[in-house]
Chain A
């Protein structure tokens, strides 16, 4: 297989959206799969399509069934009901050792008695490749993960980051149709994890392979994935590209799970071409809505902290579609690049607003206990009906 065939330029990546094309055939299709472990529901009637060349992230809290879904595709679990299709073929009867799918295990599962090169060659030997083919492929993989110098080491002589790369090389060596990565970066420390995210992304784009990554780290999912499937309790709650998940979360749970969010509960007061007006405890708020709402419905307006502007005085040009509410600064958290302001409203609820730290230091500073106005445009708020 030519490792460069799937290479996509930046322009290609921007247009890459096969899920939006109704005629596109998925590479992997989960069709209404369900799985229980002694009565406990791990997967609940779940359907999902993953496309060739896609970097797909399964994101959700611990125990929501992410690993189970991967293991279903790898062949280590069988579904109680539903089908798993690869290239349109039902692969349920195919044993793991014959599936063109490889997995990078959360614990890496490196063979302790084999060297780095031996680990990478393991799967190739099972395929009956010749010695020379194997050594060529192993060298190629070692170069890919920059471990040429450590080929003769045993796993216990490697650092965590090096082990992670051996596991990656081993699972890539057989050129799988789909590479499954179960929390591949969870065991690394913060700094290394951030660097490795970009390497992983770059590697996937370069090889043009289909990656399915499992993670409970939303930042990781946002960084690497073309699309994110947000899971909760064995179900997919929302499947969409990272920006869409962030900007247009489907419900309060997704909004809260992906990043920070302020939620204002209220009743729909009016709906017009400009959006929706909601009467909340903080007053009348305007927001944007894609969902149909009815007058008097209870809804929630979700506003991201970084969309809220903090101003010392009532914004003069408060447009009819803008929002401005008064409060008092209750807490300031300095996080390096940004500062998080907790602003208490008269009714006691707290609203979060993040400001770039440079703003805070150069402009006239807003301090603790200052009376401030929170200001955001209507289209920064999103109406959630669930």
Chain B
């Protein structure tokens, strides 16, 4: 520990240029994250008003110190009280967590075997397969969701196929149910699960599996004791990359899912666009961010640890 303190005393003073370079990312964060977040936080502490913008108080700097005092006096935590007392909001948070958890588990169950299978292919085939996995991203997300609507609707492609194969006698209702929601979510997030897992598996040294075999492991035992533990950082990255955005997902539940249990993204949309209640919508957004803060911090921690330990 004493070594590090002597180290820092030897570090030469940074030049002005170096300081400016270090400042750039902070300025970026301040301008595009902190400032907007501050605005949203401020709106969440405001009252609805029939005005433009549709909330009060507004900060009136021309009135000087009195203006600032009036502004601060007008802020309240009422919206948060509402969110935590009205079961509508709580249930949409819970619904979001449930959907995100379930679909992340499905993504893991489908994504891990895909990633594993790709790494077992010859190197040249692997490149093609990875390309195929990201290929859908070259078209707009919205267009792909509309395509799914087409496939899943009452007389859509899927039902026609099932009927033609004689697997069902009546068309199945997919659209506006959880089935369509999960199909849509798993479809659209699959690359976010596959790619990080693939990235850790492909780095795995095959000699480790030979060493495991040499020490008495059958194939599945080598997978269980060596491959799986060494791929956990990729699994963690994939899980968080899927879970976090799915919690706030709006498009898939709105277009494919039913309207009975809205997810939090849908509730937020309703408050903002239908009810024109910007303060409540903002309070929902801030609460969501705090809720996801935990997993995001875990992800950052894992990333940092990986950087330190190396592959």
Contact = CB atoms under 8 A, between A and B. Distances in A.
Contacts of B310: 156
A109 B210 contact: yes
A107 to B, nearest CB: 6
Interface stretch (B48-56, B88-96, B224-232): B224-232
Interface of B: 205, 207-208, 210-218, 221, 225-226, 229-230, 309-311
A116 to B, nearest CB: 15
Contact of A111 (B210, B211, B221, B309): B211
Contact of A105 (B211, B216, B221, B309): B211
A119 to B, nearest CB: 9
B224 to A, nearest CB: 11
Contacts of B311: 112
Q: Interface residue tally of chain A, by bracket?
A: 20 to 34
B216 A109 contact: no
Contacts of A112: 230, 311
Contact of B208 (A97, A98, A109): A109
A127 interface: yes
Interface string A89-108: 00000011110001101010
Contact of B215 (A95, A113, A156, A174): A174
B122 to A, nearest CB: 13
Contacts of A107: 205, 207
A126 interface: yes
A319 to B, nearest CB: 58
B215 A170 contact: yes
Given A76-B210, A113-B229, A122-B212, 19 more contacts: A75-B213, A95-B213, A97-B213, A97-B214, A97-B217, A102-B214, A105-B207, A107-B207, A110-B211, A111-B208, A111-B211, A111-B212, A113-B230, A122-B215, A122-B225, A123-B215, A123-B216, A126-B215, A156-B310
Contact of B214 (A96, A111, A113, A156): A96
Interface string A104-142: 010101111100000000110011000000000000000
Contacts of A110: 211
A326 to B, nearest CB: 57
Contact of B216 (A74, A111, A174): A174
Contacts of B213: 75-76, 95-97
A126 B221 contact: yes
Nearest to B213: A96
Contacts of A170: 215
Contacts of A103: 210-211, 214
A109 B207 CA distance: 6
A112 B231 CA distance: 12
Contacts of A174: 215-216
B309 A102 contact: no
Contacts of A75: 213
Nearest to A127: B216
A96 B229 CA distance: 22
A86 to B, nearest CB: 15
Contacts of A97: 213-218
9 contacts: A74-B214, A76-B213, A95-B213, A97-B214, A109-B210, A110-B211, A111-B226, A122-B215, A126-B217
Contacts of B225: 122
Contacts of B216: 97-98, 123, 126-127, 174
A292 B230 CA distance: 62
Contacts of B217: 97, 126
Contacts of A96: 210, 213-214
A345 B118 CA distance: 65
Contacts of B212: 111, 122
A40 B207 CA distance: 22
A105 B215 contact: no
Contacts of B221: 126
Interface in A46-83: 74-76
B205 to A, nearest CB: 7
A102 B205 CA distance: 19
A110 B217 CA distance: 15
A228 B208 CA distance: 29
Contacts of A102: 214-215
Contacts of A95: 213, 218
B209 to A, nearest CB: 9
A172 to B, nearest CB: 11
Contacts of B210: 76, 96, 103, 105, 109
A102 B215 CA distance: 7
A383 B28 CA distance: 80
Identify which of A98, A111, A127 gathers the most chain B CB atoms within 10 Å of its CB.
A111
The 6 nearest A-B residue pairs measured at CB = A126-B216, A123-B215, A109-B211, A109-B207, A96-B213, A113-B229
Nearest to A121: B215
B309 A109 contact: no
Contacts of A105: 207, 210-211
A76 B309 CA distance: 30
Most buried by A among B208, B211, B309: B211
A212 to B, nearest CB: 14
A156 B307 CA distance: 13
Interface in A254-274: none
B139 to A, nearest CB: 39
B230 A109 contact: no
